Amino acid sequence: MDYRENALCYEDYCRLRENVGWVNFSKEQAQAALNNSLYTVTVF
């Protein structure tokens, strides 16, 4: 597994939401949320 801190991108965020059946936000809303996040962790 590869852990990455503060590297969550818009495309991965949207793909994750789609995979669990959640509605996506607009690109502007999602990008603003990611830009204003204090800390994110992704695992590949």
Each residue of 8-23: pLDDT tens digit? 999 999 999 999 999 9
pLDDT-based confidence at residue 44 (cuts at 50, 70, 90): confident
CA distances to 8, 12, 27, 31, 41 from 3, in Å: 11, 14, 25, 21, 7
Write down the mean pLDDT value for the chain: 95
